[in-house]
Amino acid sequence: MNGAAPRSGPAAWLQALPFGAVFAFFFVAPLLLIVAVSFWPTSDYALVPGFTADNYVSIFSGCSEFADPCVTVKTYWSTLRFSFFTWLVSLLLGFTIAYFLAFHVRSTGMQTLLFVLCTIPFWTSNVIRMISWVPLLGRNGLVNQGLIGAGLIEQPLEWLLFSEFSVVLAFVHLYTMFMLVPIFNSMMRIDRALLEAAEDAGASAWQTLWNVVVPLSRTGIVIGSIFVITIVMGDFVTVGVMGGQQIASVGKVIQVQTSYLQFPLAAANAVVLLAVVLMIIAALTRMVDLRKEL
């Protein structure tokens, strides 16, 4: 009998129902609640249900003047700048380390050992890793003292700590691993016969890297970029600690607004931030179809 075998077990939708319920309860419902609260009137110490667009008007107040950008535009520009430099440096570092592990370390055991060594900093708290930079980059820190002792500078460098430099440095330290892991995974899936074919065809090492390795690592690069950019866009702890509470970011603005119980205004800022992040993710995913590549 050539008929298809009858399916056993519950239907596919029934199997997915528990996961769908968890996703709806812990992800979709909170997002919908934030969107709803963003339209509530802002009051001093109470949440009053209602509907108003005043919160969004307040966010974009004065943003029509191009000569003098509003606070929101300046804040988003600062956050996007942090995201871009963190993405660029973490991409260079993550790609280089992943390339070395995937193509220059022949032993699987050594690859595993070196990869585990890369994860050691993640065994400690993010706050501890951030604070560890303070005695290094401070005015009387080891870096300034070393440069003065070597005669390279006469006065301590003030911009090493509590500056945009220190914020980006901490971001790179904290989140480069989120770029390295997906890129390394993509590189390990590359057929080594393709590299040999490129070499036999007369391609140089740089040509092989640019025309073979980079295109085939594109999925990992996109996934790592999504991880790094989305985390940095919403981060406020790193900006607060490493910026000395003097540098603004969107996440920091939302944190301050919630601390002052301005929940509707904070929710509106969160919705705008989510929209910006989703647009960035949409632009990145147009570079590669993740559903086909994964």
- Find all residues with CB under 8 Å of 239, minimum gap 6, and list them: 82, 167, 247, 248, 249, 251, 252
pTM value?
A: 0.86
Domains of the chain: 70-259 (1.10.3720.10)
Question: Which pLDDT does position 124 carry in this prediction?
Answer: 82
Question: Which pLDDT does position 33 carry in this prediction?
Answer: 93
Question: Which pLDDT does position 106 carry in this prediction?
Answer: 82
Question: Which pLDDT does position 4 carry in this prediction?
Answer: 53
Where helices occur in 120-160 by DSSP H, the ranges are 126-131, 134-137, 142-149
Q: Say how far apart CA 275 and CA 271 lie, in whole Å.
A: 6
Query: Rounded to an integer, what is the distance from CA 154 to the centroid of its chain?
Result: 37
Where helices occur in 68-211 by DSSP H, the ranges are 71-99, 108-119, 126-131, 134-137, 142-149, 164-188, 192-200, 205-208
Q: Say how far apart CA 48 and CA 37 lie, in whole Å.
A: 9
Q: How many CB atoms lie within 10 A of CB 115?
A: 16
Question: Which pLDDT does position 127 carry in this prediction?
Answer: 83
Question: Which pLDDT does position 5 carry in this prediction?
Answer: 53
Q: How many CB atoms lie within 10 A of CB 90?
A: 27
The most distant pair of C-alpha atoms in the chain lies apart, rounded to whole Å, by 90
SS3 of residue 10 by DSSP: coil
Q: Is 147 exposed, middle or buried (0-12, 13-18, 19+ CB in 10 A)?
A: middle
Determine contact, residues 55/39, Cβ cutoff 8 Å: yes
Q: Which tokens is 285 given?
A: 């995913």
Question: Which pLDDT does position 1 carry in this prediction?
Answer: 46
Q: What does each of the 294 residues of the chain score in pLDDT, given as a tens digit?
A: 455 555 555 677 787 888 888 989 998 999 999 999 999 987 777 778 888 888 898 888 877 665 566 788 889 999 999 999 999 999 999 999 999 999 888 888 888 888 888 888 778 888 888 888 888 898 888 898 998 988 888 888 888 888 899 999 999 999 999 999 999 999 999 888 888 898 888 888 889 989 999 999 999 999 999 999 999 999 998 998 898 888 889 999 999 888 888 899 999 999 999 999 999 999 988 887 766 655
